[in-house]
Amino acid sequence: MSSARVDYVAPWWTYWLHNFPHINLRFEPIDHSFQPSEENYQQSLIFLGCVAAAGLGLNLLCLAVYLSCLCCCHKDEEEESKKPGSCCVTWSAVAAGLITCIAVGVGFYGNSETNDGVYQLSYSLYNANHTLGGVDSLVSGTMGGMKTGLHQHLARLDEIFATRGDYVQTLQFMQQMADNVIKQLLGLPDWAGADVSLASIADRTATVEYYRWLIYLLLLILDLIICLLACLGLAKQSRWLLTTMMVFGVMTLILSWTSLGAGLAAAVGTSDFCVSPDKYLMSQTKGVVGADILHYYLYCNQTLSNPFQQPLTIFQRSLTTMQIQIQSLLQFAVPLFPTAEGDLVGIQRLLNSSEAGLHQLTALLDCRGLNKDYLDAMVGVCYDGVEGVLYLCLFSVLAACAFTVMLCAIPRAWRQIACRERDYDDIDEEDPFNPRARRPGSQNPSHANMHSFCSYSSSMGSQSSLHPPAPAVSTAPMSHEYMNQTALFGGNPRYENVPLIGRGSPPPSIYSQQYRSRYSPSMRATYLSMTEDHSRHFGNDFQA
């Protein structure tokens, strides 16, 4: 038996996966050969799933330690709202989004490749099942015709030719030829068992592949939706949305590691089969199909002899001999026994149909058809199928990394949002730098008439004891700059001619020490420049 593979060569990644350590649950190394019915081999595949489960546990432990450190390390509120922390969260979200998009793309490609490979396997199995079913149908049909139809015709002709011994001997010779044909057909392998087995395997494979493809498709869509919603929560600064996405992120992280364990076990098991598929097939067909027959179909070399050549040749010679005998009886016996013509014509038609069936049987039993189905199945499983599973494993790893980064970024973003809301609530309503003080709807109703924090009535301290001088009556027209200043202070005549008291003095008492500690030097400088500008404009107007 030749050990060289002519048309099928296992890809390099199957050898790489085949060399993975095969260890049972008792941590004992086992044989790498594909033996799915052996308990130790099953445990070796389960061990790979346990490795992925250990990776999941380590990942969750690292996340728990990170979150614990984040909660225990109390930083000042100023540091929490600084730009570097926000940039860290932003870049983490961007990285998680990019990795998720790459993972989803890889997952879609891997899912499609795996589906194509399994579909090719199912199609090849159905095609081989059709071939074997056709062989079984032809064999059973030919044997039924020889046993039933030919026997009935020969029995009636034996009665008709009872007076002619030579014709009776011809009929007996034809009966021997028919028995010889039946004997050769019985020598062919019984494909009925293999036929049912291939059909059931193809049905189960198609069903499992449909649900596998659907589950991975839903997982890909779920990963993409969670990533988009998490980015939306960061953009909208929605704490409840971020909390919800964190829960779903943990769930998706668990699913990613689970799919990695299942994919790794499936890839290693399939690679063990792809490295030496003929060895496993020979062990499974022992007692049903001979080793020489299976070797003929697996390799289909021109140097190999057809194991069905001899029975098919005997079948052909027997049919030819019977047709010659029937032709001579039609020529010489029908003029003497006209009633025998119907049975002789019936036998001739039966032999012609048997010869046509013989040609079909010869074509179906040729190795090229089944060998093509076998090679297509191997290419589909070991090339497209295993390659697609490897891409799905890569998708699982990338998805786990992306959601790990996301789960690290969401708590920091949640904490920053909470600190900003707390700082926003601590600002005084009367604070001139409060953004809510600049909104019309957020001002205090008791100060509805205060149009500016620089007005006379808002000053305190020494300025509260000073009274504005009586306004001078002037008939001169008001300048454009004066109208602007009047509009600035709401058009209230009470403040129109009030000179700025204490020009060049420090800011009003509202800008006290409690606000000095709250605002930065740049903000205080801006406020002083605004005060000096207003003092300069008002001084020019009142001098005019």
CA–CA distance, 502 with 495 (Å, rounded to integer)? 16
- Band of the pLDDT at 536, cuts 50, 70, 90? low
Does 52 have pLDDT greater than 70?
Answer: yes
Mean confidence (pLDDT) of the chain: 78
Does 57 have pLDDT greater than 50?
Answer: yes
Does 66 have pLDDT greater than 60?
Answer: yes
The predicted pLDDT at position 199 comes to 86
Prediction pTM value: 0.71
Token reading at 362: 């010869």
Higher-pLDDT residue of 424, 526? 526
Does 444 have pLDDT greater than 80?
Answer: no
The predicted pLDDT at position 13 comes to 93
| Distances 541 to 12, 313, 321, 468 between C-alpha atoms, Å | 91, 127, 136, 16
The predicted pLDDT at position 285 comes to 80
The predicted pLDDT at position 222 comes to 93
What tens digit of pLDDT does each residue of 149-167 get? 888 999 999 899 888 888 9
The predicted pLDDT at position 388 comes to 96
SS3 sequence of 148-215:
HHHHHHHHHHHHHCCCCHHHHHHHHHHHHHHHHHHHHHHCCCCCHHHHHHHHHHHHHHHHHHHHHHHH
Q: What is the DSSP string of 205-254?
A: HHHHHHHHHHHHHHHHHHHHHHHHHHHHHHHHT-HHHHHHHHHHHHHHHH
CA–CA distance, 52 with 46 (Å, rounded to integer)? 10
The predicted pLDDT at position 241 comes to 84
| Cα within 13 Å of Cα(103), Cβ side | 28
Q: What is the DSSP string of 472-496?
A: PP--SPPPHHHHHHHHHTTT-GGGT
**Identity of residue 416:** Q
Query: So where are the chain's domains?
Result: 12-71+92-418
What tens digit of pLDDT does each residue of 483-499 get? 444 444 444 444 444 44
CA–CA distance, 116 with 121 (Å, rounded to integer)? 9
Place of tokens 């002709």: 157
Percent of the chain with pLDDT over 70: 71
CA–CA distance, 135 with 362 (Å, rounded to integer)? 9
The predicted pLDDT at position 466 comes to 40
CA–CA distance, 127 with 444 (Å, rounded to integer)? 84
Closest to 528 measured CA to CA, from 497, 504, 498: 504
Beta bridge partners of 29: 23
- Band of the pLDDT at 521, cuts 50, 70, 90? low
What tens digit of pLDDT does each residue of 289-323 get? 778 888 898 888 877 788 888 889 999 999 999 99
CA–CA distance, 128 with 136 (Å, rounded to integer)? 12
The CB density around residue 176, as the number of other CB atoms within 10 Å, is: 13
